[in-house]
Structure 1
Amino acid sequence: MEFLENLYKTLHSLLSSYIDLDYSLWLYRFLTPLIVTFLLPLVFVALIYISFLVLFIYKLHRQVIMRAVQGDRNFWRVGRKIVAAIWDAHARIYHGYEVIGLENVPQEGPALIVYYHGAIPIDMYYLNSRMLLQRERLIYTIGDRFLFKLPGWGTISEAFHVSPGTVQSCVSILRDGNLLAISPGGVYEAQFGDHYYELLWRNRVGFAKVAIEAKAPIIPCFTQNLREGFRQVGIFRTFFMRLYNKVRIPVYPIYGGFPVKFRTYLGKPIPYDENLTPQDLQIKVATAIEDLINQHQRLPGSILLALLDRLPTFRRRVRRKEE
């Protein structure tokens, strides 16, 4: 015991001669919140790769697993359910996730879900999981091409039917009676949107052409507090915008991963109308999503208040003020 005490005193004396321990302790306490803020998004990345590992193991040992679930001919069905259960548990615990308006999604038949794209589209992972578990319906998703260069993404996209998508492939998905999710803002909206929740669609009408050609209804979709969960760094915006326009991959640093309240709102379906042009339909859908934002989102968004939304008493107080 005496030896350990002497060793501690010796080490303390050596460190003190080279390092200001009081300053180091202050620096540690000062930087900890900053470090944690930028590490939290890694939780989301880790969850993606946990999903990949589950699906990879399922694919690798499919014969054994399929024998255990005899009678189910859909190869990926069980794997999807396992991953959906993981994501849904994360959604409920970490974000108190809710879906409002699930009845607006048809029990069968095609529908195009058009959604606002957050810094990270974690809400669509949550929505797809909830849809699989409660409705037995998979939402086919259009993803940016850069995703398919990431390790492990091929397995995830194969299992959950994520694809880059063209007008014709999207029309084919809908004509087969499936649900399809598209964000017209895409990566650009993800990277350069902010807590004012402005739509950054840049005159994109591809989704409208898809809906018109497939004669499918459109369901507007928005998730409350999405930008308070993950945000972009607020500096060097012009620089990162120029860089993005050159490389066309996400370059704007993201921070966050805050356990704010997430609530996805699915609006009333916009039915097929042969008299609408793609431009007219784009405006109509954009207006529907903006109405959801104005009705359900605090503007500008606040991380602190979004955290307080997790408290039932605070939510009731906010609702009374809105009424």
Structure 2
Amino acid sequence: MKKTLKITHNAKLIRLVSSLQRFYFEPKFFGSENIHPEKPAMYVGNHSIYGVFDSPIIIDYLFNEHKIAVVSLADHVHFHIPIWKKMVKGIGAIDGVQAYAKLAMQQGYSILVFPGGGREVVKRKGEEYQLIWKERYGFIKLAQEFGYDIAPFVAIGGDEVFDLIFDANGLLKQKWFQKLLSYPRLGKFLRHGEIIPSIPKNIIPKRIPFYFKFLPRMSIENIHSVEDLYQFRDQLQGEIYREIDHIKQLRDQGQL
């Protein structure tokens, strides 16, 4: 029997969840000409600190403005919190494991991927707008398996709403903390220190404008070897980094 995955997109909930962010940050969107609802794609971009400011806005914009029921690959932790997990599922998110992603793609859904995952969410001092993808290539292989184009996007603003007073770097240098991480169960739970959140000076985020831009799609048809895979990933990262710098420059010059 073929496995199925029930995916829910509650239009009212999606709009409600993003309403506060849209009111507070007044996001602007660019590159709508690069969005093609008729063909599913894998949307890949940078993740903002804490991960709660960018995702709802992107999902809302694609779903309610472009009629794209995008499925977000979310961190496992979201699905262990009783009330929260119901809301996360209601906006079309699934546990970000490859098996579930494949089931969603078999149903023809577009996929929203942040390759930096949980580590990119808990950014540390000086890591603003960094793509912390490590050696992850699985999302590209997945897109290739289903013939999906990669649809890059950038999100500007989210990494600047907080000034950090604490991050994990200092903690990870402490011998006593390394001793704690040496215990298998605790080390696994904390992912060897990777998911320790940074602490901001300001509880209320700064009210600064957000900008989102969708870049031209990138075909994966020319990936035939491991070397091609590495080259494509580097090219994708380069496109995202260049656009982040470009938008920040235009913003700082008052041209947006």
Could you tell me the TM-score, scaled by structure 2's length?
Answer: 0.78
2:47 corresponds to 1:111: no
Choose 148-157 or 168-177, whichever is displaced more.
168-177
- The CA distance in 2 between the partners of 1:175 and 1:124, in whole Å, is 23
Residue type of the alignment partner of 2:255: R
2:229 corresponds to 1:278: yes
Residue type of the alignment partner of 2:34: N
1:35-66 Cα deviation digits (max 9, x unpaired)? xxxxxxxxxxxxxxxxxxxxxxxxxxxxxxxx
- The CA distance in 1 between the partners of 2:103 and 2:167, in whole Å, is 42
Structure 1 unaligned blocks of 5 or more = 1-73, 300-308, 310-314
CA change 1:238–1:279 in 2 (3 A) is farther
CA RMSD, aligned part only? 2.9
Residue type of the alignment partner of 1:215: G
- The CA distance in 2 between the partners of 1:192 and 1:296, in whole Å, is 21
2:250 corresponds to 1:319: no
Larger radius of gyration: 1
Q: CA deviation at 1:109?
A: 2.4
CA change 1:293–1:149 in 2 (3 A) is same
Q: CA deviation at 1:238?
A: 3.2
Q: CA deviation at 1:227?
A: 0.6
Which residue in 2 is equivalent to 1:169? Answer: 100
Which residue in 2 is equivalent to 1:61? Answer: none
CA change 1:178–1:168 in 2 (3 A) is same
Residue type of the alignment partner of 1:246: H
CA change 1:258–1:282 in 2 (3 A) is same
Which residue in 2 is equivalent to 1:182? Answer: 113
Write 1 or 2 for the structure with the bigger share of helix. Answer: 1
- The CA distance in 2 between the partners of 1:285 and 1:94, in whole Å, is 30
CA change 1:87–1:238 in 2 (3 A) is same
Q: CA deviation at 1:214?
A: 1.4
- The CA distance in 2 between the partners of 1:83 and 1:294, in whole Å, is 33
Identity %: 17
Q: CA deviation at 1:237?
A: 2.4
Structure 2 unaligned blocks of 5 or more = 1-5, 182-189
The counterpart of 2:89, out of the listed 146, 154, 158, is 158
Residue type of the alignment partner of 1:153: W
CA change 1:163–1:235 in 2 (3 A) is closer
- The CA distance in 1 between the partners of 2:164 and 2:115, in whole Å, is 19
Which residue in 1 is equivalent to 2:239? Answer: 288
Higher RCO (Cα < 8 Å, 6 or more apart): 2
Counterparts of residues 11-50 of structure 1 (less than 5 Å): none
Q: Secondary structure at the match of 1:207?
A: helix
CA change 1:175–1:231 in 2 (3 A) is farther
Native 8 Å contact 1:141 1:180 kept in 2: yes
2:198 corresponds to 1:266: no
- The CA distance in 1 between the partners of 2:143 and 2:206, in whole Å, is 35
Native 8 Å contact 2:167 2:198 kept in 1: no
Residue type of the alignment partner of 2:239: A
- The CA distance in 1 between the partners of 2:75 and 2:171, in whole Å, is 22
The counterpart of 2:129, out of the listed 182, 192, 197, is 197
Question: Alignment length, in residue pairs?
Answer: 230
Q: CA deviation at 1:103?
A: 2.6
